[in-house]
Amino acid sequence: MATHCCNLPFSMRPRQSHSDLESDMKYFQRSAILTSILLFSAALAPAVAEQSSGPSTNVAWTIETLNLLRSGDPERGAMLNTKLECVTCHGDNGVSTNDTWPSLSGQTAGYTFKVLRDYREHKLSGTQRGELMAYIVAEMSDQDMADIASYYAQYTLPPARIASVQEAAETLDLLGDPTRLIPPCSVCHGNKGQGSFPDFPALAGQSPEFLMRSMMDFKAGFRGNDVYSRMRLIAGTLTEEEIESLADYFAGKGIAVAQE
């Protein structure tokens, strides 16, 4: 299957209609508003733990980086997926059968590329899984990462999990909580949890266990590769009950599977 156009960065999409261009402009306006909110909240929030010195990530979305991502070869990515034994943890075609590891099927190419770079450059070394991934990707080139990101992005999102959706989680997804300066999850992660450009990950269909662990790592400061401390600030404001509810909520937003 080919990667859907909406998963491609703005500069990589086919020529668009006037309405499509208006949609993209609204996206960039929302992103600017979100960044302003998060920078403001950073000034008010207590300092969060830093897991390493220097910037949270070394990935910059320059023209060169976008062109590299665009050059990703899914066929070569499939070869790397086998060679590096990614299937052991992430499953066939990126659908994990182990709830402790994320599914990569349908993940946005930009996010996969960024997080692989972050692992290689020890920006996610605050956990045992981070150390393991840093070892696995140590010899990967940027082109390798673009290729394997393209491979996973060509598939659909993982199947939806059976989950009990609570109103509080849906409210946070659609409206956020202005009283705590929490923006809606959908602003970054999409109205269906599908992720968005440039590096906001898809959450739909992930296991609740993985999603909860990731958010708790942000909350505790063990994970610090989020630009402007976006997720650290948001997760630090959420209660554990809200995090658990959101994990169940997004697990249930994957692709519907027909019943036999």
Reported as a pLDDT band with limits 50, 70 and 90, residue 54 is: confident
The pLDDT value recorded for residue 107 is 97
The pLDDT value recorded for residue 234 is 97
CATH number of 167-251: 1.10.760.10
User: Among positive and negative, which fits the CA dihedral 231, 222, 109, 171?
Assistant: negative
The two tokens of residue 183 are: 């923006």
Helix (H, G, I), strand (E, B) or coil at 237: helix
- State pLDDT tens for residues 146-205: 999 999 999 999 999 887 778 999 999 999 999 999 999 999 999 999 999 999 999 999
- CA distance linking residue 107 with residue 202, whole number of Å: 6
The pLDDT value recorded for residue 28 is 44
Q: Taking the C-alpha atoms of 163, 167, 168 and 170 in order, what is their torsion angle to the nearest 10 degrees?
A: 70
Please say if the pLDDT value at position 17 is more than 90: no
Please state the separation of Cα 90 from the chain's center in Å.
15
- State pLDDT tens for residues 88-146: 999 888 999 899 999 999 999 999 999 999 999 999 987 888 899 999 999 999 999 99
Mean pLDDT across 224-237: 95
Mean pLDDT of the chain: 83
Asked if 183 and 176 count as a contact pair (C-beta separation under 8 A), the reply is yes
The pLDDT value recorded for residue 6 is 45
| CATH fold match for the domains 63-153 and 167-251 | yes
- CA distance linking residue 216 with residue 169, whole number of Å: 16
The two tokens of residue 34 are: 């979100």
Q: Can you give the residue ranges of every domain in the chain?
A: 63-153, 167-251
The pLDDT value recorded for residue 126 is 78
Q: DSSP assignment of 192-213, as one string? A: TS--BTTTBPP-TT--HHHHHH
Mean pLDDT across 40-50: 42
Asked if 6 and 27 count as a contact pair (C-beta separation under 8 A), the reply is no
Could you tell me which residues come within 8 angstroms of residue 121 by beta carbon, excluding any fewer than 6 positions away?
57, 58
Phi, psi of 110 (to 5 degrees): -60, -40
**Length of the chain in terms of residues written:** 260
The pLDDT value recorded for residue 134 is 94
Amino acid at 71: S
Asked if 144 and 254 count as a contact pair (C-beta separation under 8 A), the reply is no
Please say if the pLDDT value at position 44 is more than 60: no
Q: Tell which residue, 214, 182, 216, has the closest CA to residue 102.
A: 214
Residue identified by tokens 């199947």 is 159
Number of H-type helices and E-type strands within the chain: 12, 0
Reported as a pLDDT band with limits 50, 70 and 90, residue 257 is: low
Could you tell me which residues come within 8 angstroms of residue 143 by beta carbon, excluding any fewer than 6 positions away?
68, 71
Q: In terms of CATH architecture, what is 63-153?
A: Orthogonal Bundle (1.10)
- CA distance linking residue 151 with residue 139, whole number of Å: 19
